[in-house]
Structure 1
Amino acid sequence: MPSLDFSDHARTLGDITLMKAITFDTFGGPDVLQLSDVATPHVRPTDLLVRVYAAGVNRADLTHRTGGYGRPNFGDSLIIGLEIAGEVIETGSAVVGYQVGDRVMGVVGGGAYAEQARIDYRMAMPIPAQLDYVHAAAIPEVFVTAHEAMMHLGRLQRGDSVLIHAAAGGVGSAAVQLAYATGATVYATTDGSKVARVEHLGADVAIDYKTEDFAEVIARRTEGRGVDVIIDFVGEPYFARNLKSLANGGRLIQVGILGGGGEVALKLEDILYRHLQIMGTVMKSRTQPEKHAMISRFREHWLGRFEGGGSLEPVVDSSFPLSRAADAHRRMESAENVGKIILTLEEADLR
Structure 2
Amino acid sequence: MKAVVQNVFGGPETLKIEELPIPEVRPHDLLVRVGAAGVNRADALQRMGRYGRANFGDSELMGLEVAGEVVDLGASVSGYQIGDRVMGIVGGGAYAEFARIDHRMAMPIPRGMDDVRAAAIPEVFVTAHEALFHLGRLEADQSVLVHAAAGGVGSAAVQLAHRAGARIFASTSAEKLQRVLAWGADRVIDYRAESFQQVIDADTDGQGVNLVVDFIGAPYLAANIHSLAEGGRMIQVGILGGGSGGELPLDRVLYRRLSIMGTVMKSRSLEEKCAMVERFSERWLALFDDGRLHPVVDSVYALEDTEAAHRRLESGQAVGKIILSTAALGNDRLAQE
**What band does the TM-score fall into relative to the shorter chain?**
over 0.9
- Provide the residue aligned with 2:91 in structure 1: 109
Does residue 193 of the first structure (1) align with residue 194 of the second (2)? no
- Provide the residue aligned with 2:159 in structure 1: 177
Q: CA separation in 1, counterparts of 2:260 and 2:53?
A: 31
State how 1:1-351 maps to structure 2 within 5 Å.
Answer: 19-308=1-290, 310-346=291-327
**Residues 28 and 77 in structure 2, CA contact (< 8 A), matched pair in contact too:** yes
Q: CA separation in 1, counterparts of 2:29 and 2:321?
A: 26
Partner amino acid, structure 2, of 1:85: A
CA separation of 1:129 and 1:223: change in aligned 2, threshold 3 A: same
Cα deviation digits, residues 279-322 of structure 1 (max 9, x gap): 100011211111110000000000000002x4100000010000
Other structure's SS at 1:329 match: helix
Q: CA separation in 2, counterparts of 1:186 and 1:347?
A: 39
- Provide the residue aligned with 1:5 in structure 2: none
Q: CA separation in 1, counterparts of 2:201 and 2:209?
A: 9
- How many pairs were matched up? 330
Partner amino acid, structure 2, of 1:325: T
The offset of 1:239, in angstroms, is 0.3
The offset of 1:266, in angstroms, is 2.6
The offset of 1:72, in angstroms, is 4.3
Other structure's SS at 1:39 match: coil
Other structure's SS at 1:279 match: strand
Q: CA separation in 1, counterparts of 2:271 and 2:139?
A: 26
Q: CA separation in 2, counterparts of 1:130 and 1:75?
A: 34
TM-score by length of 1: 0.92
Q: CA separation in 2, counterparts of 1:258 and 1:267?
A: 21
**Residues 226 and 252 in structure 2, CA contact (< 8 A), matched pair in contact too:** no
The offset of 1:347, in angstroms, is 6.0
Cα deviation digits, residues 191-213 of structure 1 (max 9, x gap): 11000000011111000001111
The ranges of structure 1 where at least 4 consecutive aligned residues each deviate by more than 6 angstroms after the TM superposition are none
The offset of 1:348, in angstroms, is 8.7
Q: Percent identity?
A: 61
Cα deviation digits, residues 119-168 of structure 1 (max 9, x gap): 01010000011110000000000000000001111011111100000000
Partner amino acid, structure 1, of 2:301: F
Other structure's SS at 2:123 match: helix
Q: CA separation in 2, counterparts of 1:115 and 1:152?
A: 34
**Residues 87 and 119 in structure 2, CA contact (< 8 A), matched pair in contact too:** yes
Q: CA separation in 2, counterparts of 1:269 and 1:168?
A: 32
Q: CA separation in 2, counterparts of 1:266 and 1:168?
A: 26
- Provide the residue aligned with 1:16 in structure 2: none
Partner amino acid, structure 2, of 1:93: A
Partner amino acid, structure 2, of 1:73: N
Q: CA separation in 1, counterparts of 2:218 and 2:248?
A: 11
Partner amino acid, structure 2, of 1:345: T
Cα deviation digits, residues 162-194 of structure 1 (max 9, x gap): 000000000000000000000111000001100
CA separation of 1:348 and 1:135: change in aligned 2, threshold 3 A: closer
Q: CA separation in 1, counterparts of 2:240 and 2:116?
A: 26
**Residues 70 and 83 in structure 2, CA contact (< 8 A), matched pair in contact too:** yes
Stretches of structure 1 that go unaligned for 5 or more consecutive residues are 1-18
Other structure's SS at 2:216 match: coil
TM-score by length of 2: 0.96
The offset of 1:324, in angstroms, is 0.3
**Residues 27 and 76 in structure 2, CA contact (< 8 A), matched pair in contact too:** yes
Other structure's SS at 1:101 match: coil
- Between structure 1 and structure 2, the one with the greater Rg is 1
Other structure's SS at 1:143 match: helix
Q: CA separation in 2, counterparts of 1:81 and 1:226?
A: 38
